[in-house]
């Protein structure tokens, strides 16, 4: 999968349809920074995510959101959120039939306590999982891997699924009558 080409498609759509969105994309990070992070976490990130982070280290935490009311998380936020959720989830595992959070999930989109995460290590094979915290909790697979999910985002932008909603302060949201497959609900 050509992650750089996928990002070029996303950036081209934004330049034409939502130039404000380009302004919130962060610059990419170095391969050295990525390797250091992987060593400190004792995890190997999927190649598609690594290549994506080399293009853009997520977005700034400000309007417009880029993923249906959600923030494409910078790497540092991914790490912090993963660690926090593992700590909270560990406390819940003993008391719950269904684990609130699974060890090895690595979030990359945040939306009001909900997130999209990669299942890494013993948790999975790099699938994109959705975690909805208010739904007892709800977990579901959204895409088989990060590259597929990123390409789906580019496809949906080009198919005119999204529009920039400045009035609600939301950012990129599905147009009336359109449904996105980036989130399960």
Domain with residue 41: its CATH number is 3.40.1580.10
Q: How far apart are the C-alpha atoms of 43 and 150, rounded to whole Å?
A: 21
Residue 88 has what pLDDT? Answer: 67
Domain range spanning residue 25?
A: 3-164
Residue 136 has pLDDT above 60, yes or no: no
Q: Which range among 59-73, 99-113, 146-160, 168-182 has the greatest average pLDDT? A: 146-160
Domain count, the chain: 1
Residue 134 lies in a domain: yes
Residue 169 falls inside a structural domain: no
Q: Number of helices and strands (H, E) in the chain?
A: 6, 7
Is residue 173 situated within a structural domain?
no
User: Is residue 31 predicted with pLDDT exceeding 90?
Assistant: yes
Q: Distance of CA 123 to CAs 106, 120, 126, Å?
A: 10, 6, 9
What is the reported pLDDT for 168? 61
Any domain includes 117: yes
| Strand pairing class (71-72; 171-174) | unpaired
In a domain, 127, yes or no: yes
Other Cβ atoms less than 10 A from the Cβ of 101: the count is 25
Which has more pLDDT, 124 or 22?
22
174 within domain boundaries: no
In a domain, 184, yes or no: no
Look at residue 170 and tell me if it is in a domain.
Answer: no
């Amino acid at each position: 999968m050509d992650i750089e080409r996928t990002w070029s498609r996303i950036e081209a759509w934004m330049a034409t349809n939502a130039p404000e969105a380009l302004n919130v994309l962060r610059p990419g990070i170095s391969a050295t920074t990525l390797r250091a992070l992987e060593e400190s976490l004792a995890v190997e990130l999927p190649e598609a995510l690594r290549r994506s982070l080399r293009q853009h280290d997520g977005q700034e935490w400000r309007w417009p959101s880029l993923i249906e009311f959600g923030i494409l998380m910078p790497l540092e936020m991914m790490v912090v959120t993963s660690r926090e959720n593992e700590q909270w989830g560990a406390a819940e595992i003993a008391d719950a039939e269904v684990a609130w959070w699974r060890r090895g999930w690595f979030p990359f989109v945040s939306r009001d306590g909900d997130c999209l995460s990669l299942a890494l290590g013993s948790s999975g094979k790099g699938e994109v999982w959705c975690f909805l915290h208010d739904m007892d909790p709800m977990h579901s697979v959204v895409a088989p891997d990060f590259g597929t999910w990123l390409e789906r985002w580019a496809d949906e932008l080009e198919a005119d699924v999204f529009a920039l909603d400045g009035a609600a302060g939301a950012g990129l949201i599905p147009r009336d009558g359109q449904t996105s497959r980036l989130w399960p609900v």
